[in-house]
Amino acid sequence: MTPRFIAKQLAHPRGLRGWLVRRGMNRGNALANAFALDQLELQPTDKVLEIGFGGGLNIERLLNQSASVVGIDRSADSVAAANRRFARARSAGRASFLLGAAEALPLSDNTFTKAVTVHTVYFWTSLDRGFRELHRCLQPGGLLVVGFLPKAQMDRMRMPSDLFAPRDPDVLSAAAKDAGFTVDLRRPDSSEPWMALVARKSST
């Protein structure tokens, strides 16, 4: 598979090849996803939003540790797969999966206590709009965790620039702060290339 093909499927998985890419993302991103979820410090009463849930790796853990989950993804195939896989949670009113993008969330204000997204910021058309939308949808005091691979490491992968926008940690932090968050950058240890931006909405 060429870098361009992989980039297209990562951005918008479709069909059988998209299914294979989703499975690959679940395996390849397992550690980064686990670290991001750890930063959420989930509670049984939390209402959680996940942007770009892809293969659904995080959904089961989110359902096990929180009250409810809403997933937003740009891929209709990902939404359909999640609706099938988590049908019982949907029937119980604990999960829903919607087609959408971070820059224009089809959600009400002040709905969620926590939000998470991993390896999606490279596809956002606007960091400013994405962070503003997430800030809008979080309740006062709400927590957002953004898992990502910094630009210095992402550039080595030589992904097509018209599909991938590598993100510098300082640029992500600035956009989150401009949206109204307080920000902390975390890495599990120096041997791991990926990071998590942990952003808190003011409680007032």
pLDDT-derived band at 154 (thresholds 50, 70, 90) equals: confident
Which amino acid would we find at residue 98? Answer: L
pLDDT, position 160? 66
Q: For 162-191, what is each residue's pLDDT tens digit? A: 677 899 999 999 999 999 999 999 998 878
Instruction: Give the torsion through C-alpha atoms of 142, 118, 49, 78, to 10 deg.
Output: 170
DSSP letters along 9-26, please?
HHHS--HHHHHHHHHHHH
Bridge-partner residues for 144, per DSSP? 115, 199
Please write the tens of the pLDDT for every residue from 91-131.
999 999 999 999 999 999 999 999 999 999 999 999 999 99
Q: What is the CATH number of the domain that holds 35?
A: 3.40.50.150
Query: Does 9 have pLDDT greater than 90?
Result: no
pLDDT in the model for residue 89: 97
Sequence-ordered strand ranges (E) for 76-111: 95-99
d(CA 148, CA 109): 25
Look at residues 114, 99, 106, 98 and name the one whose alpha carbon lies nearest to residue 62. 114
Q: What is the pLDDT of residue 14?
A: 55
Cα separation of 140 and 143, whole Å?
9
Instruction: Identify the band that residue 16 occupies on the pLDDT scale cut at 50, 70 and 90.
Output: very low
Number of domains in the chain: 1
Give the pLDDT mean for 134-149: 97
Axis-axis angle for helices 76-85, 15-28 (nearest 10): 70
| % of the chain exceeding 90 in pLDDT | 68
pLDDT per residue as tens digits for the range 55-99: 888 999 999 999 999 999 999 999 999 999 999 999 999 999 999
One-character DSSP codes across 149-178: -BHHHHGGG---TTT---B-HHHHHHHHHH
Selection from 74, 17, 117, 153 nearest residue 6 by Cα: 17
In contact, 74 and 101? CB cutoff 8 Å: yes
174 exposed, middle or buried (CB, 10 Å; 0-12, 13-18, 19+)? middle
Q: What per-residue confidence (pLDDT) applies to 19? A: 44
Q: What domain range includes position 124? A: 3-201
